[in-house]
Amino acid sequence: MSQKPKPKPSHGLAACPGCAEPLDSGDRFCGACGYDLSAVPAAETEPDRPTVAIVTPVVWPAAPPREAGSLSTATQHPGDLPGTDSGGRDLPTMPVRTDGPVPAPPGTDAPPSGTPPSGTPTSGGDFELAAPDPRTAVQVDPPGSPQPAPPAPPAPPAQPPQPAQPPAAAPDAAALCVACRAGRVDTDGYCENCGHAQPRERDHMEQELGSVAAVSDRGLRHHRNEDAFAVSATTLPDGSPAALAIVCDGVSSATRPDEASAAAAQAAGASLLAALPRGIHPQQAMHEAIVAAAEAVNSLAEEPGPDGAEHDPHRNSPACTIVGSVVADGLLVVGWVGDSRVYWVPDDRTTPAARLTEDDSWAAQMVAAGLMNEAEAYADERAHAITGWLGADAYELDPHTAAFKPDRSGVVVVCTDGLWNYAEGAEDMARAVPPDAAGRPLGAAQVLVGHALDGGGHDNITVALLPFTVTPPGAGSA
């Protein structure tokens, strides 16, 4: 998971010299045998693996000046971004609507254009937040009702998430340890017999909704999953379909990163789901969704502790990164803050793939400033320190957005560094994506998570896939 800029020791070893246990760069001792890594001779260490350069660098033009009366910072539009196809050629642009959003039906109270909705999803949409954190769930009773909700399933926002229960398992079987199958599980989630920690709801999550799917896994080295995602499908005012995916990675060096990623994914997904059917341009909707996500994460820093006292001022605020994509009306829109990425993988694997985002990281900043070449920057131990994130102590909120119009069908890969660390270059990612990913997005996402686990699974792993289909000319309905 992502790290804020912070100097930390790095031994440079991939495995323990004593027992061959995989290691993280910041480990001081081996967690398996206790080997003192600070005593490893310099000859035994090896430099960090540099990032593989993408085939064609993506150039992000500056955003136009903000218009008077605008409620947010300036964003780029498809007309401002010519973009390139998967072969590196310039793409045709499309005009941007200047007549404002589609007006709300008479009698409705629609929010003004550019105003992000609240972070709570409405009961009428298809949006679902993957693995809501039970610690942040709040019981909401129906307004005016003196009694709790009836046994019948209420609307999703009116009921807090409940731990998943195997429908066919007996209550006694569900309380047994998954490791020793003999001890009972206490209220803290540990076996009273062998002490084994039991799987939690967010340890492994899968969701498929329409043409978009996502999978998230705790990985093999971390004690919890600090990633979160939100996927959804909706329609534009003209009735055409739209699919969206948001992926958030909690900053592990921050306080409560799992809560930050869950709040950001929920707020951004709900914002997009509310904006797209109203006719807001997908790129503007993505920008406002990131702003809504940032506000949701910022609000976590203002919450008092369990005893009503303020949080320890010496502890930093909850933080996470965010990346998302919208496929709608022939456009591929991406937006991000941090080092999670979006890749474009065409169905025709003889044409090149591309990375559509640029990391907010120390290494990328050094290369962009011309202070280091790419090999030097990514060999530095500070290479993956992020320079942009969502959180109350972020330097500034600078959402990146871009729009493309591919000339061929393919699949959009939205992922955290838990996956791209094992497939950094665009061609590496294309080789990892199954050939039938567009037709089986959930199965392909499972394969990609397995690819990262097979590579070591040193981080939480989250990936969402959105197929992008180009309709051949003259293939309209009869």
Residue range 47-79, pLDDT digits in tens: 333 333 333 334 434 445 545 444 344 444 434
| Burial annotation 363-376 (CB, 10 A radius, 16+ → b, else e) | bbbbbeeeebebee
pLDDT band at residue 118 under the 50/70/90 scheme: very low
The listed range with the strongest mean pLDDT (183-187, 300-304, 420-424) is 420-424
Read off the pLDDT of each residue in 291-312 and give the average, rounded to a whole number.
76
Mean model confidence pLDDT for the chain: 75
Top-confidence residue, 341 or 158:
341
Does pLDDT of 119 surpass 60?
no
Mean pLDDT value of segment 339-360: 95
Query: Is pLDDT of 379 > 80?
Result: yes
State residue 408's pLDDT score.
Answer: 94
Confidence of residue 18 (pLDDT cuts 50, 70, 90): confident
> Quick check: 111 pLDDT over 60?
no
Q: What does the pLDDT average to over 92-107?
A: 42
Least confident of 170-179, 424-433, 452-461: 170-179
pLDDT tops 50 at residue 166: no
Please, which pLDDT band fits residue 242 given cuts at 50, 70 and 90? very high
Least confident of 136-150, 272-286, 372-386, 396-410: 136-150
- What are the strands of the beta sheet with 410-415, ordered from one edge? 204-209, 212-217, 461-468, 410-415, 341-346, 354-355
Band (13; pLDDT cuts 50, 70, 90)? confident
327 pLDDT band, cuts 50/70/90, is very high
Q: Do residues 355 and 54 touch, judged by C-beta distance below 8 A?
A: yes
The whole-number pLDDT of residue 325 equals 98
Q: Give the mean model confidence (pLDDT) for residues 419-431.
A: 95
Q: What's the token pair of residue 341?
A: 């990425």
| pLDDT over 80 (residue 138) | no
Residue 83 pLDDT more than 50? no
Could you report the per-residue pLDDT of 210-232, keeping only the tens digit for each? 889 999 999 998 889 999 999 99
- CA–CA gap between residue 114 and residue 287 (Å, rounded): 9
The residue that leads in pLDDT, 368 or 289, is: 289
Per-residue pLDDT, 54:
32
306 has pLDDT over 50: yes
Of the candidate ranges 116-120, 189-193, 359-363, 408-412, the one whose mean pLDDT is the lowest: 116-120
**With bands split at pLDDT 50, 70 and 90, how would you rate the model's confidence at 95?**
very low
Sign of CA dihedral 283, 288, 291, 297: negative
Q: Is residue 8 scored above 90 in pLDDT?
A: no
pLDDT reported for residue 414: 98
Exposure string of 14-25, with b = 16+ CB inside 10 Å and e = fewer, is: eebbeeeebbeb
Return the pLDDT at 90: 53
- In this prediction, residue 186 has a pLDDT band, given cuts at 50, 70 and 90, of confident
Distance, in Å, from the CA atom of 37 to the CA atom of 11, rounded to the nearest integer, reads 7
The two structure tokens encoding residue 436: 């039938």
Q: What is the pLDDT of residue 114?
A: 40
pLDDT given at position 77: 43
Stretch 306-314: mean pLDDT = 54
Highest mean pLDDT pick, 69-83, 144-158, 323-337: 323-337
